[in-house]
Chains A and B, each alone.
Chain A
Amino acid sequence: MSIYSNKRGNQDAELNALFHSYRAACPDPEPSAHFMPEIWRRIEERQRSLFFLGRWARAFVTAAAVLSLGMAAYLYIPLEGNTVFSAESYVEAVAAGHAVDSAEFVDSSLE
C-alpha cells in the first residue's frame, strides 16, 4: 500500500513538474503585424453581413405584413357580398331554386 501511494505521490509530483515545464516551453507568442488589421477586417465583414441580414429581415417582415393584409382583405370582401344571400331564409332560397320546376308543372296542366 505504501509502495502504491509512494508511486502515486511520485507521479503527482512528476505531473506537476511537467505542467510547470509546459508553461515555460509554451511562452506567450508575439502577435504578427497583421493581427489588428485582420481583427478590424473581420469586424467590418461581420457588421456588413449583420446589416444585410437586418435589411433582409425588415423586408421579410414588411412583405409578410402586406401579404397578411391582402389575405385579410380577400377574406373580408366575399363575406360582405354574401350578406345578401344570408339574409334570405332557407325556404325562400328553396322556393327560388324551384321556380323552373313549377313552370314545367304549369305547362303539363295546360295539356
Chain B
Amino acid sequence: MLVDFELIKRAQAGDSAAFNEVVLAYRKRTLGTIARLISRPEDVEDVAQEVFLRLYFSLDQLRTAEVFEPWLYRLTVNAAYDYLRKHRRRMESRMSDLSEQQVMLADAVAGGRVDHEVRQQRQVRETVDALLSAVSEADRILLTLKEVEGLSLKELEKIYRVNENALKVRLFRARQRVLKALGETGSESRGKGTAKAEI
C-alpha cells in the first residue's frame, strides 16, 4: 500500500490535504492503468480525474485498510468501462488493415521519419489494441488487468467480487478469442505476403 490507513482516515474525515496526498500517491499508477485500459492518451487524465472524483465521494464507505487498493482498482475499472462503453471504441487499425499499416510504417522508417524504437512500440500498441478489439470491453479490461498489469487471480477476485473459477473461465474464453484473432492476423499477413510475392 502506497499510503498508510491513517491518511485515508483523515481524508475520510474531510481533510483536503490528506485526500491530496492520497491522490498524489496513486495518480501515476492510476494514469498508467487507465492508459493501458482505454488506449486513448488524450482522454486518460479525464478518466483518472473521474476515478478520484468517485473516490472522494465514496471514501466514507471504506472500512478497512486492506480493501483500499482493490477498491481503487474497482473504481478505475468501472470508470474505464464507462468510458469504453460511451465511446464504443472503433479501432482505427482494424484487423484486416493491420498489415497495410505495418507496410506504411515500414515506408516511414525507410524514409527515416520514425525512430526504430518508437516505431516498434507503436507497432506493439497497435497490434495489441487490434487483438483486444476481438473481445468485449469488459473482457478487454479483465485481460489487460491480468496479462498486462500483472494482477493475480486473488487480486482480481477482490476487485470483481466474483469467485476465482468464474474469473478463470472468463479469462480463458477471452484469451482464446484473442489467440484466434492472432492466428487470423498471422495467416492474413502471410496470405498477403504470398500474393505480393506472386505479383
Contact = CB atoms under 8 A, between A and B. Distances in A.
| Central interface residue in B53, B122, B186, by most chain A CB within 10 Å | B53
A19 B53 contact: no
Contacts of A36: 20, 23-24
Contact of B148 (A23, A38, A42): A23
Nearest to B150: A23
Interface stretch (B84-92, B162-170, B177-185): B177-185
A61 to B, nearest CB: 23
Contacts of B190: none
Contacts of A42: 49-50, 53
A43 B32 contact: no
Interface string B140-162: 00000001111000000000000
Interface string A57-101: 000000000000000000000000000000000000000000000
Interface residues of B, number: 39
B36 A23 contact: yes
Interface string B7-24: 000000000000010011
B23 A39 contact: yes
B32 A26 contact: yes
A39 B53 contact: yes
Interface in A26-46: 26-32, 35-36, 38-39, 42-43, 46
A43 B23 CA distance: 13
A105 interface: no
Nearest to A18: B128
B124 A22 contact: yes
Contact of A35 (B27, B36, B149, B150): B27
Contacts of B147: 16, 19
Nearest to B53: A42
B29 A28 contact: yes
A15 B52 CA distance: 33
Contact of A21 (B48, B49, B57, B124): B124
B124 to A, nearest CB: 4
B32 A28 contact: yes
6 contacts: A11-B179, A18-B128, A22-B125, A25-B122, A31-B45, A39-B53
Interface of B: 20, 23-24, 27-29, 31-32, 35-36, 39, 41, 44-45, 48-50, 52-53, 56-57, 120-122, 124-125, 127-128, 131, 147-150, 175, 178-179, 182-183, 186
Nearest 5 A-B pairs (CB), nearest first? Answer: A28-B32, A25-B121, A19-B147, A22-B128, A25-B124
